[in-house]
Amino acid sequence: MTSFLQATAYGLLQGGLLALVAVGFSLVWGVMNVINVAQGAFVVLGAYVGWEMHEWIGLDPFLGMFVSAAALFVLGYAVQRFLINLVVNGPIFITLLLTFGLDLLLVQGMNIVFSADYRGIRTSYASNSLTLGSIRVPVGRLLAFALAVAVTLLLVAFVNRTRTGISIMATGMDRGAARLMGIRARHVYALTYAIAAALAGMAGAMIGTVGTFNPSAAGGFTLMSFVVAVLGGLGNMYGALVGGLVIGLVEAWSGQYLPGTWVYALAFLVLIVVLVVRPTGLVGRAYYTGRQDV
CB atoms within 10 A of CB 60: 16
195 or 267: CB nearest another protein: 267
What minimum distance in Å lies between the beta carbon of 150 and another protein?
A: 29
**Could you give the angle at which helices 218-232 and 2-32 cross, rounded to 10 degrees?**
80
5 or 275: CB nearest another protein: 275
What minimum distance in Å lies between the beta carbon of 109 and another protein?
A: 6
Angle at 29 between CA 26 and CA 33, to 5 degrees: 165
Integer Cα distance of 49 and 44 in angstroms: 9
4 or 82: CB nearest another protein: 82
Residues 6+ apart with CB under 8 A from 18: 224, 228, 243, 244, 247, 248
171 or 209: CB nearest another protein: 171
209 or 214: CB nearest another protein: 214
The DSSP bridge pattern shows strands 129-132 and 135-138 to be antiparallel
Task: By CB under 8 A, name the binding residues for another protein.
Answer: 29, 33, 35, 83, 85-94, 96-98, 100-105, 108-109, 112, 185-186, 189, 219, 223, 226-227, 230, 259-262, 264-265, 267-269, 271-272, 275-276, 279, 293
What minimum distance in Å lies between the beta carbon of 275 and another protein?
A: 5
136 or 179: CB nearest another protein: 179
146 or 272: CB nearest another protein: 272
Angle at 198 between CA 195 and CA 204, to 5 degrees: 145
What minimum distance in Å lies between the beta carbon of 173 and another protein?
A: 16
What minimum distance in Å lies between the beta carbon of 79 and another protein?
A: 10
What minimum distance in Å lies between the beta carbon of 35 and another protein?
A: 6
Number of H helices, E strands in the chain: 12, 2
Give the residues across from 213 on adjacent strands: 119
Number of alpha carbons in the 13 Å side-chain half-sphere of residue 28: 33
CB atoms within 10 A of CB 129: 13
What minimum distance in Å lies between the beta carbon of 231 and another protein?
A: 11
29 or 221: CB nearest another protein: 29
What minimum distance in Å lies between the beta carbon of 88 and another protein?
A: 5
Residues 6+ apart with CB under 8 A from 49: 64, 67, 68, 71, 72, 201, 204, 205
Nearest alpha-carbon partner for 168 in 44, 26, 15: 26
171 within 8 A of 33, measured Cβ to Cβ: no
